[in-house]
Amino acid sequence: MIKSLAYIFGCLLIGNIIQTFLHISIPGSIIGMLLLTAALHFKVLLLEDVKAFASLLNKNMAFLFVPPGVALINYIDMLQSNLLAILGSCAVSTVLILVVVSLTMSKLDPTPANDE
Partner 1 sequence: MMNDLHAILLTKEFSLTLTCVAYLISQFIYKKTKNFFLFHPVLFSIFLLIMYLKLTGVLFDEAITFDQYNKGGQFISFFLGPAVVALGVPLYLQIEEIKSKSKPILISLVLGCFVGILSGVVLCYFLGGAKEIVFSIAPKSVTTPIAMGISGALGGIPSLTAIIVIMVGIFGGIIGPPMLKAMKIKNPKAMGMAMGACAHAVGTAAIAEEGQEHAAYGGLALGLCGVITAILCPIILHIVWPILSTL
Q: What is the DSSP string of 58-81?
A: HHTGGGGGHHHHHGGGGSHHHHHH
Q: How many residues sit in the footprint of partner 1 (CB under 8 A)?
A: 79
CB of 2 to partner 1, least distance (A): 14
CB 11 within 8 A of CB 30: no
| Cβ nearer to partner 1, comparing 17 with 27 | 27
Q: Does 57 bind partner 1 (CB under 8 A)?
A: yes
Distance CA 17, CA 9 (A): 12
Interface with partner 1, residue 54, by CB under 8 A: yes
- 81-110 positions binding partner 1, by CB under 8 A: 81-82, 84-86, 88-106, 108-110
Candidate list 21, 22, 62, 80; residue touching partner 1; CB under 8 A: 62
Q: Which residues contact 45 (CB under 8 A, 6 or more apart)?
A: 7, 36, 39
